[in-house]
């Protein structure tokens, strides 16, 4: 198989499973975090609470990137589709897509690197960043192969002047669509739940191995996890029983 075909095959597989595969990358980080917590090692010499808030804010910055990109995106693009594979009814060129071609993956990177930073281990953060790049490089390759196959020169011309991953802030172009809060709520309802689930597991496992018994620690991460569960259930109920969250444009 030619390398370009191998990249495409790998990218399609990773694209369809991108919602859970990063968890496998973060699992070694969970072990590192628990060991450091048991040894009482402070993160890079900083106050633990201050450092944890920094990590959470990096993850929140990732959500902000996703919210901007998705909120202004055209219909049937920038979705969380997995089973059906690639879907794009048009090429997004404005808003965040005028600064980089893959803003959702930039947002995902910031979310996951915020989690990886919880390990308090510089080498793991570097290793995670490299693994993430290799992982999403295949996905971006498969996605762009699909878009070139569907839109041809239109996408190639667009890609000539726009970075693939890192945004060029000076190239922001006013979005052609109105912002859709409905799309954000509908597509991103599980995002915060997944973030606080992972961080809740980090904190509780560390406490378990430090104390030797399981005792629910009532802290910010516990409350945030509970609130995100309630939010997810509420949105699912609204979607099943009403038309409030149908697309608004």
In whole angstroms, what is the distance from residue 12 CA to residue 30 CA? 28
For the record, the structure tokens of 46 come out as: 């900083």
- Which residue ranges make up each domain of the chain? 3-178
- Give the tens place of pLDDT for each residue, 205-244: 888 887 777 777 788 889 999 999 999 999 999 988 888 7
- Residues 141 and 129: their CA atoms lie apart, in Å, by 18
Give per-residue burial for 153-175: e unless 16+ CB within 10 Å, then b: eebeebeeebeeeebeeeeeeeb
pLDDT tens per residue, range 14-57: 777 766 677 787 888 888 888 877 776 656 666 677 888 999 99
* Per-residue pLDDT, 79: 53
Please tell me the distance from the alpha carbon of residue 165 to that of residue 134, in angstroms, as a whole number.
13
Q: Is the dihedral of CA 164, 168, 173, 177 positive or negative?
A: positive
Are 240 and 233 in contact, with CB atoms under 8 Å apart? no
**CA triple 88-63-162, angle to 5 deg:** 50
Token digits of residue 52: 């944890």
> Coil, helix or strand for 173?
strand
pTM score, whole prediction: 0.86
Indicate the SS3 state at residue 127: helix
pLDDT digits (tens, 9 = 90+) for 76-121: 665 555 444 555 667 888 889 999 999 999 999 999 999 999 888 8
**249: helix, strand or coil:** coil
Supply 123's token pair: 């080498």
* Cα–Cα distance for residue pair 198/215, rounded to 1 Å: 17
Q: What are phi and psi of 90, to 5 degrees?
A: -165, 170
Question: Is 65 a residue whose pLDDT tops 90?
Answer: yes
Q: What is the DSSP string of 49-77?
A: HHHHHHHHHHHHHHHHHHHHHHHTSPTTS
The Cα angle at residue 183 between residues 181 and 189, in degrees rounded to 5: 95
pLDDT digits 0-9 by tens, 169-212: 888 988 888 898 888 888 888 888 999 999 999 888 888 887 77
Residue whose tokens read 């975090």 = 33
Separation of alpha carbons 170 and 242, rounded Å: 41
């Amino acid at each position: 198989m030619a390398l370009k075909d191998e990249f495409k095959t790998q990218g399609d597989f990773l694209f369809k499973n991108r919602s859970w595969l990063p968890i496998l990358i973060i699992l070694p980080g969970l072990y590192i975090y628990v060991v450091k917590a048991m040894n009482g090692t402070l993160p890079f010499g900083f106050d633990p609470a201050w450092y944890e808030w920094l990590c959470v804010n990096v993850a929140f910055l990732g959500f902000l990137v996703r919210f901007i990109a998705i909120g202004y995106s055209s219909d049937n693009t920038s979705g969380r589709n997995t089973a059906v594979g690639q879907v794009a009814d048009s090429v997004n060129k404005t808003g965040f897509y005028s600064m980089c071609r893959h803003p959702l993956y930039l947002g995902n990177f910031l979310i996951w690197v915020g989690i990886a930073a919880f390990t308090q281990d510089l080498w793991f953060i570097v290793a995670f960043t490299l693994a993430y790049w290799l992982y999403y490089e295949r996905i971006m390759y498969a996605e762009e192969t699909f878009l070139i196959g569907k839109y041809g020169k239109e996408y190639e011309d667009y890609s000539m002047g726009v970075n693939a991953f890192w945004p060029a802030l000076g190239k922001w172009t006013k979005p052609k669509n109105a912002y859709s809060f409905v799309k954000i709520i509908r597509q991103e309802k599980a995002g915060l739940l997944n973030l606080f689930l992972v961080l809740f597991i980090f904190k509780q496992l560390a406490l378990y191995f430090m104390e030797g018994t399981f005792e629910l620690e009532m802290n910010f991460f516990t409350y945030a996890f509970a609130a995100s569960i309630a939010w997810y259930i509420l949105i699912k109920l609204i979607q099943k029983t009403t038309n409030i969250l149908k697309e608004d444009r």
